[in-house]
Amino acid sequence: MRTGQGSGGRRLPARLLTPPAGLTETTLERSVRFEGRIVRLHVDRVRLPDGREGEREVVDHPGAVAILPITAQGRVVLVWQYRQAAGRAVLEIPAGKLSPGESPAACARRELAEETGMRARRLRAVGRFLPSPGFSGEWLHLYVATGLVPGPPRPDPDEWLAAVEATPEEVDLLLARGRLEDLKTLAALAWWRREAT
């Protein structure tokens, strides 16, 4: 909300919309240390606001989408997916990375179909956020999918997952018991619960 207009017509104070002066770092040199199929790691030598120099390790990522699918009965569609970085299966909303030249909306429709088999008659952009700006430049685009039409899932050849539905009460229990640990899922559900009240 760069305009300062908050929910309910309230305005946000300038201190919450614009960072104070003197927080900018200037990149002096960049060196790529790793280039993989999905991410690239580079190290920047930067000039700090006080004139000293420092180093920043940054992961470049093409960006991704996350989709909060809501059925006609008001249930949320989640997927169980094994995540190597976590060392176990994680319960989360459908998501995936942008392909070169692909729009976030097209990616959201594709990932929803791949992971759940569902097609959305309505897809609404909620916003975008930086999941981990301390070391990654990834932008994650969040969508809400409704008017769901079922179909067979079409996961990537190296992707194994299982879609499940959860009622609002079950979502509340999952949250209360700490069973949802994926940040994009928590952000999407926080938005959803706020919209529902």
Q: Could you give the domains of the chain?
A: 7-60 (no CATH), 64-196 (3.90.79.10)
Output the pLDDT for position 140. 97
Buried b (16+ CB within 10 A) or exposed e, 4-24: eeeeeeeeeeeeeeeeeeeee
User: Rounded distance, CA 188 to CA 78, Å?
Assistant: 11
Residues 89-99 have pLDDT tens digits of 999 999 999 99
What pTM, to 2 d.p., does this model score?
A: 0.89
Return the H-helix or E-strand segment holding 42: strand 40-47
Residues 125-153 have pLDDT tens digits of 999 999 999 999 999 999 999 999 999 88
